[in-house]
């Protein structure tokens, strides 16, 4: 029997082993609410308004949806979550999830915050990666203009120089402290600019082992070609390629902008095409694992099984340091905990930041977990199944 066949993502006893009955019931109530589409839309709007009016709702938010999907408001507040995950063999990826700020002071603050996560990772056995978005340290308009090939004016050139310096400061500290760092993917109209920054950082810091990882959104139909291109470049220039493989985060926005501007939609025509491309990309990376290290950021059960089966096919151990699985905190515990229990490398993205500043992130999580066509979400059904199992045993 292959290792993959020994793992069951239906095993809720393992998936929720570190939750007490009270914690599990609280999760049940939260996902039950999320399965009501109108409630999610109305509740999200009310939360945003209440915060903007300075109404005393922060405590309620923090003890409900925030507690489910975030580690805390600060790195220090995340420590109990880091330790709890670590006891189950799951790593933490601290994700500073503040959005909406776009000025030089906020960019510089974000650099210091990311460097603080790197320092935390260097001192902990439970934090295998750090992560940041380039738009957290750069103006998105500037990144997009740089991609068009338009000449930047002197002010813009100076600003882009500061962007490069910020990205380098983060990656250099990661290199010095031996911490791997993900550079997240973003919208297609700025992704090539981000890719170029990644290449520069990889050439500097991935000579001996993968430190800097680029992110590939496989809902884009050209991304496997880009992975192959990047692999050839890494081989030619003599460095290791780090790649985080995800399906993607901006599908509706990408399609809308492409239509408005009369451009070809960069997104695959069907979900099946995206799934096939994702799995094909995993195979390419394992075929070249001597120079590529990967993190499969996925909540898709079949992709997890597929990667496990391919690891067995290529005689790669479950705990091979070059291969990680990753999921978001508060979601897909049936994947994370069962994979870790079977000896695979697993990490959870643990977002953190002030409640008010991470609201956009939290509302996206609520939307993702809302029922489709009135069906209970996978998360809700698994929590319900575990509650029923415990009830039978009582």
Three-state secondary structure of 42-77: HHHHHHHHHHHCCCCCHHHHHCCHHHHHCCECCCHH
Please check whether residue 119 lies inside any domain of the structure.
yes
In a domain, 147, yes or no: yes
Range of the structural domain that residue 144 is part of = 72-361
Asked if residue 27 is part of any domain, the answer here is no
Look at residue 18 and tell me if it is in a domain: no
- Ramachandran area for residue 72 (φ above 0: left; ψ -120 to 50: alpha; else beta): left
d(C-alpha 170, C-alpha 158), whole Å: 19
Contacts of 35 (CB under 8 A, 6+ apart): 369, 370, 371, 376, 377, 380
At residue 359, the pLDDT reads 80
pLDDT the model gives residue 371: 40
Could you give the number of structural domains in the chain?
Answer: 1
Dihedral through CA 237, CA 277, CA 133, CA 138, nearest 10?
Answer: 70
Q: What is the pLDDT of residue 37?
A: 63
Cα 34 to Cα 13: distance, rounded to the nearest angstrom? 23
- Per DSSP, helices labelled H in the chain are 12-15, 21-34, 37-52, 58-62, 65-69, 79-87, 104-122, 140-148, 154-177, 188-205, 223-237, 251-260, 271-287, 301-313, 333-341, 359-368, 378-393
DSSP class of 314: T
Averages of pLDDT over runs of 10 residues in the chain (394 residues) are 75 96 91 68 55 66 87 96 98 89 90 98 98 96 95 97 98 98 96 98 98 97 98 97 94 89 92 96 98 96 96 96 96 96 97 87 62 57 94 86
As to burial, measured by CB atoms within 10 angstroms (0-12 exposed, 13-18 middle, 19+ buried), residue 238 is exposed
Q: Domain of 151: which CATH number?
A: 3.20.20.220
Residue 108 near residue 166 (C-beta atoms within 8 A):
yes
42 lies in some domain:
no
Q: Is 336 within a domain?
A: yes
For the full predicted model, state whether its pTM sits above 0.75. yes
Could you give phi then psi for residue 320, rounded to 5 degrees? -55, 125
Residue 370 belongs to some domain of the structure: no
Per-residue confidence (pLDDT) for residue 86, from 0 to 100: 98
Strand partners, 391: none
Burial of residue 241, with CB atoms counted within 10 A of its CB: 0-12 exposed, 13-18 middle, 19 or more buried: buried
**Residue 30, in any domain of the structure:** no
């Amino acid at each position: 029997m292959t290792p993959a066949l020994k793992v069951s993502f239906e095993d809720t006893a393992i998936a929720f082993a570190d939750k007490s009955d009270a914690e599990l019931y609280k999760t049940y109530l939260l996902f039950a609410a999320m399965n009501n589409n109108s409630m999610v839309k109305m509740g999200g709007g009310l939360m945003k308004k209440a915060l903007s009016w300075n109404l005393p709702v922060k405590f309620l938010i923090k003890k409900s949806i925030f507690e489910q999907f975030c580690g805390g408001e600060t790195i220090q507040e995340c420590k109990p979550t880091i330790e709890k995950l670590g006891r189950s063999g799951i790593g933490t990826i601290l994700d500073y999830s503040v959005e909406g700020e776009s000025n030089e002071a906020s960019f510089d603050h974000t650099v210091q915050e990311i460097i603080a996560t790197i320092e935390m990772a260097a001192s902990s056995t439970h934090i295998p990666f750090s992560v940041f978005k380039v738009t957290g340290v750069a103006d998105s308009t500037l990144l997009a203009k740089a991609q068009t090939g338009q000449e930047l004016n002197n002010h813009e050139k100076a600003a882009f120089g500061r962007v490069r310096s910020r990205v380098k400061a983060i990656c250099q500290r990661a290199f010095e402290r031996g911490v791997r760092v993900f550079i997240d993917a973003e919208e297609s109209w700025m992704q090539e600019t981000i890719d170029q920054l990644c290449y520069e950082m990889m050439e500097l810091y991935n000579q001996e082992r993968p430190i800097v990882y680029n992110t590939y959104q496989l809902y884009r139909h050209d991304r496997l070609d880009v992975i192959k291109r990047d692999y050839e470049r890494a081989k030619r220039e003599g460095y290791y390629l780090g790649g985080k493989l995800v399906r993607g985060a901006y599908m509706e926005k990408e399609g809308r902008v492409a239509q408005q501007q009369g451009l070809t939609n960069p997104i695959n025509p069907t979900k099946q095409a995206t799934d096939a491309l994702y799995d094909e990309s995993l195979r390419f990376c394992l075929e070249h694992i001597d120079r590529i290290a990967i993190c499969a950021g996925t909540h898709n059960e079949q992709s997890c099984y597929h990667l496990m089966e391919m690891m067995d096919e290529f005689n790669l151990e479950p705990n091979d340091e070059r291969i990680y699985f990753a999921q978001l905190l508060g979601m897909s515990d049936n994947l994370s905990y069962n994979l870790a229990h079977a000896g695979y490398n697993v990490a959870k993205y643990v977002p953190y930041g002030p409640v008010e500043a991470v609201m956009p992130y939290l509302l996206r999580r609520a939307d993702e977990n809302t029922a489709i066509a009135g069906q209970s979400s996978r998360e809700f059904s698994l929590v319900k199944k575990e509650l029923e199992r415990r009830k039978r045993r009582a």
